[in-house]
Structure formats: C-alpha cells, structure tokens
Amino acid sequence: MYLVLLATIISFVIMLIIGPYFIPFLKKLKFGQTIREEGPQSHMVKSGTPTMGGLMIILSITATCLLFLANRWEVTVALLGTLAFGFIGFIDDFIKIILKRNLGLKAYQKVVLQVTFAMILAVYAAYHPNIGTHMAVPFIDSLLDFKWLYIPFTVIFIVGFVNAVNLTDGLDGLASGASMFAAVFFVLSCLYNGYYQLALFAGSVVGACLGFLKFNIYPARVFMGDTGSMALGGALVSLAVLTRMELYFFVVGGLFLIEAISVIIQVFYFKMTGGKRFFRMAPIHHHFELKGWHEKKVVIVFWFVSVCLAVLGYAGLIINI
C-alpha cells in the first residue's frame, strides 16, 4: 500500500515540477486552443490558452512507471495502451494546432487507429492465461465468460470509452478530475483483487491527474487537449481490461457514458426532427452551462456524480448479493 502511495506522490510531484516550465514552452510554441464559435460564449475568453498539456500527463505517468514498474508485463501493457491512444490524440492536436486544420484527423482515420489499438489489446487479453474471456460482474462474486463475443465487445468498450473521456474534456478540470476518481477506484480494486503492480500504475494516473488539476482547474492555465483525454481514456480502459473489470467500468465510468450518450441523443434527435435540439448543447455539461450554471458549479456537480459512481462501483466489488 505504501508503494502505491509513493508512486502517486512521485507522479504528482513530477507534474508540479514540469508544469511551470512546460506551460510557458507551449505558449512560446503558440500551441493555443481555438474555441468554437458555436460553443458557449463564456468560453471565448479561453481562446489562446495553451493546449496539448496532456503531454505532461503522459510524461508524468511514464516517468513514474519507469521508476517503479519496470519489467512487469501488465504495467507495460497498460502503459502502452496509454501511449497508443495518447499518440492518436497527439496527431489530432498536431493537425488542428500546427497544421491549422480545425477538424484534425478525419473521423474514419481516428476510428481506424482506435479500432486497431483496441483490437490488439482485446486479442492480447483474450489469449492471456491470466485474463481470458471472463469479466467480473458487479455485486456478484463470479465471472461471466463472453467466449467468442469477448473480442468484439471489448473493442467496442475500449473505443467507446476512450471517446467518451474525450467528449468529457470540455470544462476546466472536468475530465482530469473525473479520470482521477475513476483511477482511485482502480487503485482500490487492484489492491482488493491482488493486482498490486497495476495498483501502482493506477496510482501514477491519480497523481498525474491531481497534479494536472493545479494548472487545469478553473480558470485553466493549460488544457490537456485530445493528447491528454485520449491518453487518460487509454489508461482507464487498459486497467479495466487487464483486471477484467469492464462491466464495473460501466458504473465507475458512468459520467463518461452519460456525456457520450448525450451526444448520441442530440445527433439522433437533430436528424429525426429536422434540426431541433434535445439539449441546449451537447455534450451535456454545456447544456447546464447554457441553463445558467457557472462552469465551476457544473464541474463540482459532475465531480460529485463521478465520486458517487466510483463508490458504487467499489461497493459492487466488496458487497455480494
């Protein structure tokens, strides 16, 4: 347990050390965020705020892993999952910010890359003797064998939740805070189930998110960009797959799920009604902003929901019906 705490602290300290140097560096390179005109007008003041701060998150997690977690297959796989999806986000940010193409990667390009990395992780897990095609079921002390459905289900799970975390990154501190609470769940669940090395990895994610919040809380001095949101999504889904906790993550990551579903509902309703909107704006955090909630209030309420879902998920682990 103390090693997990130490890994968390070191990741946190690394972030605090590199932040004051990295943020001015991003400003110097003019890696500024472009704010969409159709977004909430209150966000226009954020235009030019440095983005791609997710590189700091990746560096903090990677450095901590190299210090503590070398030569462990499960940690190596989790870190590679983080780096792989972070790489997709980096390319997307690079195209938008450096090449000045606002839409970044084309949708099909992003999906192809995400499905490819998801397939690699799913196949690896399915044929690994310590993982296999079984998943733990919340509130039931048993494993459910998905058999031939495991790989397609896991690919959809990975791609879906990585994009859901990405959609959640729309307010200062929202995605980093929600990801941190989900990572805390994985620290506790890994310790409970005996995945001690992955508990250290999850601790490094907690520390990186907590340290990043110092610079990302309202008013944000830096944004994580797709680089950070996809890297965090990759870290969380990798933890879920490697610990066979995919079904638990539908509870623990429920906030991300709600954000993604709100976008699906908005798009479907818009097309079915010829241009009407179900929400004032999607993802749903913008809906509450446009209803008059201050950004800080939205973030605090959504954090509270995220904490409650993490607690509910842990209850599903230790309480069996």
Question: Alpha-carbon distance 99 to 144, whole Å?
Answer: 47
| Residues annotated in a binding site for Mg(2+) | 166, 226
The helix/strand/coil state of 169 is coil
| Residues annotated in a binding site | 166, 226
Question: Alpha-carbon distance 284 to 256, whole Å?
Answer: 10
Residues with Cβ within 8 Å of residue 74, at least 6 apart in sequence: 195, 197, 198, 201, 242
Could you give the angle at which helices 225-242 and 150-168 cross, rounded to 10 degrees? 150
Whole-number Cα distances in Å, 124 to 127, 151, 155, 173, 250: 6, 10, 12, 33, 21
Long-range pairs of 281-285 with CB within 8 A, sequence gap ≥ 24: 281/39, 281/40, 283/167, 283/168, 283/170, 283/259, 284/258, 284/259, 285/168, 285/170, 285/171, 285/174, 285/259
Q: What is the rounded radius of gyration, in angstroms, for the C-alpha atoms of the chain? A: 19
Task: Provide the token pair at 168.
Answer: 């959640």
Task: Provide the token pair at 13.
Answer: 């300290």
Task: Provide the token pair at 214.
Answer: 């110092």
Task: Provide the token pair at 9.
Answer: 């602290």
Burial bucket for residue 203 (CB in 10 Å: 0-12, 13-18, 19+): buried
